[in-house]
Amino acid sequence: MTAIALDATDRQELLERFLRYVRVDTQSDENSTSSPSTEKQKNLAKLLAEELRSLGCSDAVMDEWGYVYATVPGNLPKGHRAAGKVPTIGLIAHVDTYHGTVGAGVKPLVIEAYGGGDIALPGDSRQVIRTADNLNLARCVGHTLVTSDGTTLLGADDKAGVAEIMTVVAWLAKHPEFHHGPVRVAFTTDEEVGRGTEHFDVAAFGAGYAYTLDGSDLAEIEDETFCADSAMVVIEGHDVHPGYAKDKLINAVRVAAAIIERLPREFLPETTEKRQPYLHPYDIRGDVTKVEVKFLVRAFTEEELRAREETLRAIVREVEGLFPGARIRVDVKESYRNMAYKIGEDPKVLEYAFEAVRRMGLEPVRRAIRGGTDGARLSFIGLLTPNIWAGGQSFHSVQEWVSLEWMVKAGEVTLHLLQVWVERSAA
């Protein structure tokens, strides 16, 4: 049986891939209606399709939406007990990065043999990755860490996952003696704006089960996400010359401020953790005449989600009474639902991942994500897709960082997982 381990050359190639990918600006744009939301995402997608072809995936292609698809054919010999029984396994990551923090001009900083302590980022003296705020730094002493220079995000969310999947494909090409079933690879666009699977054709992808590699800590396997909606509060006021505004002016800016001021503090993301839901005003724009306020609504159950939305509507009704003549509308749009509802219907997709972690001498950590992945939507449209850690930390910020050792382990656990599927299918 082939030993599953990434050697020093594999490790260096993984690092080089990651550094190459994060230098490509792939920020998505939540205000865009095009797909992908930014054309620049295709720059990395094209590069990945070319690299996949060079690794032997002859069918690798980027489609019109910027998605990349490729196949690593199974190689089980005739007569193998699992031949014809192993389902195609999908490996998925997203190429886009968060739209709210600068993502262009990333200058990755590699710290070899991290010695512990705070990390000052050279591009901005105000930016220090502090051990007090990053408890996982203590677990990574001696590791190779990668950060940005402090002026941009790093992009480990989710280019760490992309680099790990590419390294798995490269390892399989170098180890034809390692027997595995068919593997399908997909790199999606626009995950950060909630549109990562908008054009994903599950039937054409052809996988029986899939896994995203995205974020999170060593040994974490995630089978739950938030249920998520977005809410837009649209306020229409009435503008007149302020010198003659008495009893005429209705200031939409003040109305918006009154709504935000009344949000219960205990409902905000900055005061919640673990399984607590939140209501998050994250974007406001407009003027006296019209203001739009965007909210994220998040909860692990649909009942809690509805309760938070009703809180928002109740606040709006109260504020309407304080500003006669103002017109306020609340538009709620579904984003995704907790994938646990679906994964629980066929738990082996999760159990096999736990087994793969144990084979590495680690104890799997089952976590609920205070966020979402492409796997949430995919699980509801017919492709069960829990999440494997990719290692990124403090994502969406200029203090984002990742451990190369945790990335290596993500690649290795993926290979173990392919082996588990073969063995269980043969049983």
CATH number at residue 389: 3.40.630.10
Based on the residue annotation, tell me whether 191 is a catalytic residue of this protein: yes
User: Tens digits of per-residue pLDDT, 109-148?
Assistant: 999 999 999 999 999 999 999 999 999 999 999 999 999 9
Whether residue 242 is predicted with pLDDT greater than 90 in this model: the reply is yes
User: Tens digits of per-residue pLDDT, 185-227?
Assistant: 999 999 999 899 999 999 999 999 999 999 889 999 999 999 9
> Which domain-ending residue is among 303, 335, 367?
335
Kindly state whether residue 235 falls inside one of the protein's structural domains. Answer: yes
CB atoms within 10 A of CB 362: 13
Residue owning tokens 């089978």: 223
Residue 216, pLDDT score:
86
Residues 16 and 34 in one domain: yes
Residues 87 and 29 in one domain: yes
Per-residue pLDDT, averaged over 341-362, amounts to 97
Rounded-to-integer distance, Cα 136 and Cα 129, Å: 11
Closest residue by Cα to residue 369 from 159, 190, 223: 223
Kindly state whether residue 3 falls inside one of the protein's structural domains. Answer: no
Rounded-to-integer distance, Cα 317 and Cα 329, Å: 10
Residue owning tokens 């928002």: 312
Domain count, the chain: 2
Of all residues in the chain, what percent carry a pLDDT higher than 70? 100
Residues 200 and 180 in one domain: yes
Based on the residue annotation, tell me whether 351 is a catalytic residue of this protein: no
Per-residue confidence at 427, pLDDT binned at 50, 70, 90?
Answer: confident
**Helix (H) or strand (E) segment spanning residue 213:** strand 209-213
Which of 234-243, 260-269, 366-375 has the lowest average pLDDT? 366-375
Residues 206 and 278 in one domain: no
Residue 1, pLDDT score:
65
Range of the domain at 55: 8-225+338-426
Closest residue by Cα to residue 39 from 197, 163, 187, 190: 190
51-70 b/e (C-beta count within 10 Å ≥ 16 → b) = bbeebbbeebebeebbbbbb
Amino acid at 8: A
CB 209 within 8 A of CB 113: no
Kindly state whether residue 237 falls inside one of the protein's structural domains. Answer: yes
Closest residue by Cα to residue 284 from 318, 234, 249, 334: 234
Kindly state whether residue 1 falls inside one of the protein's structural domains. Answer: no
Arithmetic mean of pLDDT over the chain: 97
Per-residue pLDDT, averaged over 268-291, amounts to 97
Amino acid at 232: M
Rounded-to-integer distance, Cα 359 and Cα 353, Å: 10
Residues 269 and 415 in one domain: no
CATH code: domain of residue 281: 3.30.70.360
Kindly state whether residue 185 falls inside one of the protein's structural domains. Answer: yes
Kindly state whether residue 399 falls inside one of the protein's structural domains. Answer: yes
Pairing of strands 220-224, 145-147: unpaired
Per-residue confidence at 373, pLDDT binned at 50, 70, 90?
Answer: confident
CA distances to 222, 248, 293 from 324, rounded to whole Å, are 48, 11, 19
Residues 231 and 87 in one domain: no
The DSSP 8-state label assigned to residue 335 in this structure reads E
Residue owning tokens 């920020």: 27
Residues 207 and 242 in one domain: no
Kindly state whether residue 2 falls inside one of the protein's structural domains. Answer: no
> Of the listed 25, 96, 229, 400, which one is catalytic?
96
CA angle 188, 200, 55 (to 5 degrees): 50
**Helix (H) or strand (E) segment spanning residue 88:** none
> Which domain-ending residue is among 295, 318, 335?
335
> Which domain-ending residue is among 335, 350, 383?
335
Residues 240 and 193 in one domain: no
Residues 343 and 295 in one domain: no
> Of the listed 10, 191, 355, 405, which one is catalytic?
191
Residues 159 and 183 in one domain: yes
Residues 100 and 157 in one domain: yes
Per-residue pLDDT, averaged over 42-69, amounts to 98
Residues 259 and 321 in one domain: yes
CB 200 within 8 A of CB 365: no
Kindly state whether residue 136 falls inside one of the protein's structural domains. Answer: yes
CB 371 within 8 A of CB 335: no
Phi, psi for residue 112 in degrees, rounded to 5: -80, 140
Which structure tokens are listed for 361? 């001498």
